[in-house]
Amino acid sequence: MTDENQPRPPSDQIIVVQPDDYQTEVKDYSTRQPAYHSPPSPPRSKMPLILFILTCLSTLIVGGIKGPFLPLPGQLQLLFYQINAMGWSTFLSNGFSYAGPVMLILLSHEMGHYLQSRRYHIPATRPLFIPMPMSPFGTMGAVILQRGGVANRKQMFDIAVSGPLAGLVFAIPFAYWGLLNSTVETVIPESGAVSFGEPLILKWMITLVHGPLAENQEIAMNSMLFAGWVGIFITALNLIPIGQLDGGHILYTLIGKRANTVAYLILLSAIGYMSYTGEFSYSLLILLLIFFGVAHPPTADDTVKLGPMRTIIGWSTLAFFIIGFTVTPITIH
């Protein structure tokens, strides 16, 4: 009988262990090297920042001299003489009183689009401002480029409607503040004099602040009021329900493909009106709308419901076009 507690002799079978039977994995958990490696993100373009700075300078100069200028070597020398004649303090006061509010309006408008795009993880560029010192506004606004076919109906609505609403949060108070500090002048139109059209909302505010005006009276446009006017005007233009404008996005999310029929009717009506009246102020806008497309492409999912609250907000935002748009924005006597 054997004792189980006694050690047994080794078996005659020998287990041969080959080196390939085991795999050795060495992990370095030191702080000198991360455990996971992600591909480096591409460097961000500096172009949005450069365009923003150029637009700030453009609006500052246009607001300071209260008129457009050509950024050419000979014209820059004349600009310097003009600023010296009016005084640098007056130039900077006028310039910042206009450039500050108008840039804030444009920035808030574009950030409304951009932040909603980030919220829904829709690829979009940062705001791209467009300096335009040759225009009386100093800028042609700003744009954000998005990848098409990614946002669904509700996401497209939120992205589109947030821009105009965010811009109006500042445009209307700036216009009202400018009116509070404005004066009423009796004017006799002279050759070369420039006057700006008054949309309904601005007429209502003028009546509220100054009362009804006579036919030969108008408001002296100060820098703050002009910035509010530009903000209201640009917002109304963006709410035209055509193509890739904010109004085109909003109308498409509200009524679907029927919005394309409305867009073509509005475009043909505008062309007919300009041909009949000889008023071609919006010719460039018409050409751009045709170039970028009048019809709105489908969203990633047109079946997503908006709900009653978004529907009310959408139609109310589009209605601002009626009270914010002016057929003749600038008149040169």
Q: Are 63 and 135 in contact (CB under 8 A)?
A: no
Alpha-carbon distance 244 to 103, whole Å? 22
Residue 105 CB contacts under 8 Å (≥ 6 apart), including other chains: 167, 170, 171, 174, 227, 228, 230, 231, 234
Local structure of residue 20 (DSSP, 8 states): G
- CA distance to 110, 218, 276, 297, 327, per residue, from 330 (Å): 25, 14, 19, 33, 9
**Beta carbons within 8 Å of 176's beta carbon, 6+ residues apart:** 205, 209, 228
| Amino acid at the residue 176 | Y
Distance of alpha carbon 251 from alpha carbon 19, whole angstroms? 71
Q: What is the pLDDT of residue 11?
A: 52
Query: How would you write the pLDDT of the chain (333 residues) with one tens digit per residue?
Result: 455 555 555 555 544 545 555 454 444 444 554 544 545 555 677 899 999 999 999 999 999 999 888 888 778 888 888 899 999 999 999 999 999 999 999 999 999 999 999 999 999 999 999 999 999 999 999 998 887 778 999 999 999 999 999 999 999 999 999 999 998 888 776 656 777 889 999 999 999 999 888 888 888 889 999 999 999 999 999 999 999 899 999 999 999 999 999 999 999 999 999 988 888 888 888 998 999 889 999 999 999 999 999 999 999 999 999 999 998 888 776
Q: Are 153 and 304 in contact (CB under 8 A)?
A: yes
Please name the amino acid found at residue 200.
L
Output the CA–CA distances (angstroms, integers) from residue 16 to 9, 11, 12, 19, 56, in the order listed. Answer: 18, 13, 12, 10, 79
Q: How far is the C-alpha of 202 from the C-alpha of 230, rounded, in Å?
A: 11
Give strand pairing partners of 42.
none
Name every residue whose Cβ is closer than 8 Å to that of residue 29 and which is 6 or more positions away in sequence: 35
pLDDT of residue 282: 87
- The structure tokens listed for 38 are 């992600």
- Strand 330-332 and strand 194-196: the pairing is antiparallel
Q: Which contiguous run of DSSP H or E holds residue 102?
A: helix 88-119
Contact 241, 249 (CB under 8 A): no
CB 236 within 8 A of CB 167: no
The pair phi, psi for residue 86, each rounded to 5°, is: -85, -20
Chain mean position to CA 224: 20
The predicted structure's pLDDT at residue 192:
62
- Distance, in Å, from the CA atom of 111 to the CA atom of 36, rounded to the nearest integer, reads 34
